[in-house]
Structure 1
Amino acid sequence: MDDLSAAVASAPAVRAPPELTIVVPTFNERDNIRPLLGLIAKALKGDSYEVVFVDDDSQDGTLQELQSVARSDPAVRYIHRIGRRGLSSAVVEGMLSSSAPYLAVIDADLQHDETLLPDMLAVLRGGKADVVVGSRYVEGGGMGEWDASRQFISRTATRIAKLIIRAELTDPMSGFFMLTREAFAGAMRNLSGQGYKILLDIFASHSSTLRLRELPYEFRTRQHGESKLDALVTWEYLMLVADKLFGRLIPVRFLMFLIVGGLGVFVHFGVLTLLLKGLNADFQASTIIATISAMTFNFFLNNLLTYRDRRLKGIWRITKGLFSFYVVCSLGAVANVGVATALFDRDYVWWGAGLAGVLVGSVWNYAATSLFTWRQKK
């Protein structure tokens, strides 16, 4: 036996690649990690699978828990993301990190019914569907302890989803599903990555109609940690829908930037009116204060909404970002006036010249703040 053959013969057995990858996005879910893994192991006993946690830089000990588990269990991996946030993008990264033919998504909060995983896998193995969705709305499913208002919001969001998908999904808001790698590959280059509803994004982004199967499950109550749902989730959901409706014409982030800018106009005139009419202040001073107030309002609202996935945190980063926003928008105002004046002097109609100036200033502000204020981390 030559040296190479001897080395191969003496090498430890290599673990077979998993048939199924289960992606679990996490953010501050320390106490749910081991219980979830135990439930998945029990449900998929005898199946070849791996669990890939994608963590958005948790600060509650989740990362330390994931490190501990991954060192002792070869079926567990994790991806630590810094400077990036969002469930949809986390799911995409987890799926791209895998070579398994089947891919599943389940929340870390134990609210999904992991006992459905074998049934989902069986449907895909049999070639009967491209995507299998755990649904709360088909017969046998349920919303658990959700109150009437939360159920109303969910059902309204389901109706809105019909604007961008053709599939007869009863629960497009579901975060519990399984699909083939081919189904994911057909959508991944067109995904918006907006918000939390990755299933809806996949159906709206796919180049063809996906074969669908829905299985009922009862939504559970969270046992540990805090819910990540807040009022901003509704905004992100609407932006996902807007991206699919208008994204080919105008980037949805630019649309959000314009909406915030429009609100800033109201802030500007509100402050100006208060200073001039309420306090009898000097016009020039009032205009400067109103302009700075509107810029400050726009910065913080953009930080909260438009660039939520790149949100600046901490006194130093916020102060630095605010200063760069002031500088960029000041230059944008100069560009606005310069373009409008130049066009007006060339006998363009006044409103056309003004609109061109606003457009140039807005594009400059958006592009420059994306580059300098909310720069994407590498």
Structure 2
Amino acid sequence: MRASLPAELAVVVPAYNERSNVALLVDAVAHALPDVHWEIVFVDDDSPDGTAQQVRALAQADARVRVVHRYGRRGLASACVEGILATSAPIVAVMDADLQHDETILGAMFRRIRQGDVDLVVGSRYVEGGGMGEWSRRRIAMSRLATALANRLTGTAIGDPMSGFFMLTRGAFMASLPGLSSVGFKILLDIAASAPAPLRVAEVPYTFRTRQHGESKLDSLVLWEYLQLLLDKAFGHIVPARFISFALVGGSGVVVHFVVLTVVLETLLHLHGAADEERWFAIAQGAATVVATSSNFFLNNLLTYRDQRLKGMRLLWGWMTFNLVCGIGFLANVGIASWLYQRRNYLVVSALAGIAITTVWNYAMSSIFTWRRRG
């Protein structure tokens, strides 16, 4: 009877390769919320370990268990957004699938938000009674620095804005939804920074646990994602975060371009002399463009389009299409740069003009053909 009632609370759980944890988490949530009509929505990014299949098996025995199976896209923040939109519950909690968040405080969080005077209840590691568990001093220091930056951005007083464990009302989420970036892994920061008015916040302390099963999803690129989110919240109303990332990667491509251009041009001039300098410059500019374009492709695949990262044969096909659609930009690059150089413009001016053409073309075409969303 309880499972057939409308859910008062939905627990949204983004998951990737968490097969061994899902049953444990469902059981833990059930024990933590004995008097609440709840449901749990796992959002699985097509885990190769069969996480989605395991959740479906659990759902066959318990109607309160659901799964949103995503294909062709990844990302913790966007998974949380899709999970929240997939439920009709008036109150929604977000927590990780790795059992590091203390589910026993869900009841206290729910009772607090039901009082009606707050929009958001955060499971906090930084208020009295909370703790970081077995984190190293270096990781704690980095977390506190990120927290200070986050609070300056949001304008909302949250002791732990980097927390991935929180509960909010449907109204608060829907108000923030139009401004969400869905970038990276800090969805709470995204929601708070996107709210049209400062959120009313309460915090419940908990101690962060040590992962028991599976592997951590945090890697060396999470800092990049965090910086992307901060940039998007600060400047996203002017230019998208993905474009900012693309431009930063393009900056590294400029360095690669000039290094290759200089080496190839100096080599050709040394071998053949300066009698046909314009021709050697065109060849050097072409070589530099090819190398810089490939460098930009692989870096953008790793950073800018991390949530749509190409792998295996799709990586090879993506590289081919990236170079193919950049063909027109390549020809314009070499043509314009050579035309300017022949008219006695500085090498830097000539090369930058060609780079500008290629950069604009690459950005437009890559979003359409190379990293187009699937599913």
Q: Deviations over 1:126-163 (max 9, x none)?
A: 11211000010011111000001111111111111133
Contact 1:275 1:281 (8 Å CA) reproduced: no
1:52 partnered with 2:47: no
Residue among 160, 164, 167 paired with 1:171? 160
Alignment of 1:324 with 2:313, yes or no, is no
**CA distance in 1 between partners of 2:203 and 2:301 (Å):** 38
Specify which of 279, 299, 310 is matched with residue 308 of structure 2. Answer: 310
Query: Where in structure 1 are there 5+ consecutive unaligned residues?
Result: 1-11, 345-349
* SS of corresponding position for 1:231: coil
Indicate conservation of the 8 Å contact 1:131/1:180, yes or no: yes
Q: CA RMSD in A?
A: 2.8
- Counterpart CA distance in 1 for 2:59 and 2:149 is 40
Query: Is residue 128 of structure 1 aligned with residue 117 of structure 2?
Result: yes
Q: Deviations over 1:256-280 (max 9, x none)?
A: 1111111012112223444556796
Q: 2:296 pairs with 295, 298, 302, which one?
A: 298
Alignment of 1:1-378 (within 5 A): 15-275=4-264, 283=280, 286-314=284-312, 316-336=313-333, 359-378=356-375
The amino acid of 1:15's aligned partner reads S
**CA spacing shift, 1:91–1:366, aligned 2, 3 Å:** same
**147-156 or 360-369: bigger deviation:** 360-369
Count of aligned residue pairs for this structure pair: 364
Please, which moves more after superposition, 73-82 or 157-166? Answer: 157-166
Identity of paired residues, percent? 54
How far apart, CA to CA, are the structure 2 residues paired with 1:122 and 1:332? 59
Structure 1 residues 281 and 322, CA, compared in 2 at 3 Å: closer, same or farther? farther
Q: What does the per-residue CA deviation read over 1:57-77, in whole Å, with 9 as the maximum and x for residues that have no partner?
A: 001121221111011111100
Secondary structure at 1:162's aligned position in 2? helix
Residue identity matched to 1:36:
L
Change (3 A) 1:288 1:88: same
**What is the CA distance between 1:40 and its match in structure 2?**
0.7
TM-score (norm 1): 0.89
User: Which 10-residue stretch deviates more, 153-162 or 195-204?
Assistant: 153-162
Contact 1:256 1:306 in 2 (8 A): yes
1:325 is paired with a residue whose SS is helix
Structure 1 contact 17–100 (Cα < 8 Å) conserved: yes
Shift of 1:329: 2.5
User: Which range moves more in the overlay, 50-59 or 323-332?
Assistant: 323-332
Q: Is the 8 Å Cα contact of residues 44 and 52 (structure 2) preserved in structure 1?
A: yes
- Structure 1 residue 295 displacement after superposition: 1.4
Corresponding residue for residue 275 of structure 2: none
AA aligned opposite 1:322: W
